[in-house]
Amino acid sequence: MSEKKIIPIPVYNDVSFELFNKIHSRRSPAILRGLNIGSCLGKWTAEYLSQIVGNKPVKIHVSETGQMNFLTKNFQYKTLPFDQLIKRSSSNQHEDYFLTNTEVYYLRALGTDSRGREVANMENHYPELCQDFQIPQFLEASSIFSSVLRVASKGVQLWTHYDVMDNLLVQVTGKKRAVLYSPEDIPYLYLEGDKSQVVDIDSPNLERFPEFIKATAHECIMEPGDILFIPALWFHNMTSLDFSVAVNVFWRNLSPEVYDKKDPYGNKDPLPASKALEMVESALKHLSLLPDEYQRFYKRRIVSRVQKNL
C-alpha cells in the first residue's frame, strides 16, 4: 500500500511586511509565529470570555461526535447564550445538553441580522473583544471582507472545504491541527460543492475513495498565537485539540467586482467561476438526452477540451 504523503507547513518567525508579501505571493500555506496579536493571547480563557461577552444568543453547531459529517448531518443547529456556549464547550461533560452529555459545540460567528445574511465582523458584533485583539498590519483595510470568531470544543473536526478569499486564521486559545490540500489535488478529494466527501481523512474509506491516497496533506499543529495563512482555494480540515478560540480574517485577493455580492460567508465561487460551473451542469443536462454511448463520447470530448487548457 502506498504511504500517505505529508508535507509540514513551514513556520516563519517574526515575519516582516516584506516577507509576508513574499509568502502571500507564493500562494502556499504558512504559519506566522511570534507576531503581536494583542492581549488576547493568554487572556481569552473561558471565564474571561463568558464574563466580557455575557449572555447574548449565538447560533452554534452541536454534535454527538467530534468529527462533523455534512453528508450524514450528524450535527444540529441550536442557539445558546454565549456564556453557556463557553461553559459547555470548555468542558467534556455537561449538566445541560441537547443530544448527549458529552456533545461538542462549534461557533462560527455570523452577523446579527435575523436571516443570517450579514457578514461577520468582530468590531460590530464583538466590540468588547476587539481591544484585546489585533491582526498584523499586513492587509489593505479596503480588501478586508470579514473577521470571524470561532469557538470549538476539544475534538471538533471541521470537514475539508475551501473558501474563495485569502485567510489569516489566528489561533488564540488552545491548539489546533490543520490539514491542508492544494487546489491541484481536486481530482483526489471527491468534492461535493465546496466540501470533500472524504470526512475521515485519517482512515479514509479507500474502496469508496481510492484516489484519496494520492492527495498530499500539508499539516501543522497551531499553537496559541500562531497565524495560519490559508490561500484562497486551498482545502482545509481543522481539528481542535483543546477548547479552542480563534479569529480569522478573510480578504479579497481579486478585484471586488468578481466576488458575489450576496455572500455572507466568503465561500461563494467568484461570479465568472460560478457561471462556468452552471454551464457545465447545463451541458450535462443536454447530454442526458442522448443514449449512454453518445453521452460518454461527448463527455470525453469535453474533458479533453478542458484538459488542453489546464
Contacts with Fe ion by CB under 5 A lie at: 163
Q: Which is nearer to ligand AKG, 71 or 303 (CB)?
A: 71
Q: Which of 96, 37, 33, 12 is nearest to 62 (CA)?
A: 96
* Dist. CA 64–CA 100, nearest whole Å: 7
185 binds, among ligand AKG, Fe ion, none (CB under 5 to 8 A by kind): none
Q: State the helix-helix crossing angle for 46-53 and 82-89, rounded to 10 degrees.
A: 170
62 binds, among ligand AKG, Fe ion, none (CB under 5 to 8 A by kind): none
Q: Which is nearer to ligand AKG, 204 or 266 (CB)?
A: 266
Handedness of CA 28, 34, 40, 42 (dihedral sign): positive
Q: What is the C-alpha radius of gyration for the chain, rounded to an integer number of angstroms?
A: 21
50 binds, among ligand AKG, Fe ion, none (CB under 5 to 8 A by kind): none
Q: Which of 275, 272, 231, 224 is nearest to 252 (CA)?
A: 231
248 binds, among ligand AKG, Fe ion, none (CB under 5 to 8 A by kind): ligand AKG
Q: Rounded to the nearest whole angstrom, what is the least distance from the CB of residue 249 to ligand AKG in the complex?
A: 9
**Are 134 and 37 contacting, i.e. CB atoms less than 8 angstroms apart?**
yes
Q: Which is nearer to ligand AKG, 69 or 295 (CB)?
A: 69
Q: Which of 34, 28, 37, 35 is nearest to 8 (CA)?
A: 28
Whose cell is 461577520? That residue is: 120
Q: Which is nearer to ligand AKG, 110 or 169 (CB)?
A: 169
Q: Rounded to the nearest whole angstrom, what is the least distance from the CB of residue 164 to Fe ion in the complex?
A: 10
Q: Which is nearer to ligand AKG, 253 or 295 (CB)?
A: 253
Q: Rounded to the nearest whole angstrom, what is the least distance from the CB of residue 177 to ligand AKG in the complex?
A: 10
Residues that bind ligand AKG (CB under 6 A): 150, 152, 158, 163, 167, 169, 176, 236, 238, 246, 248
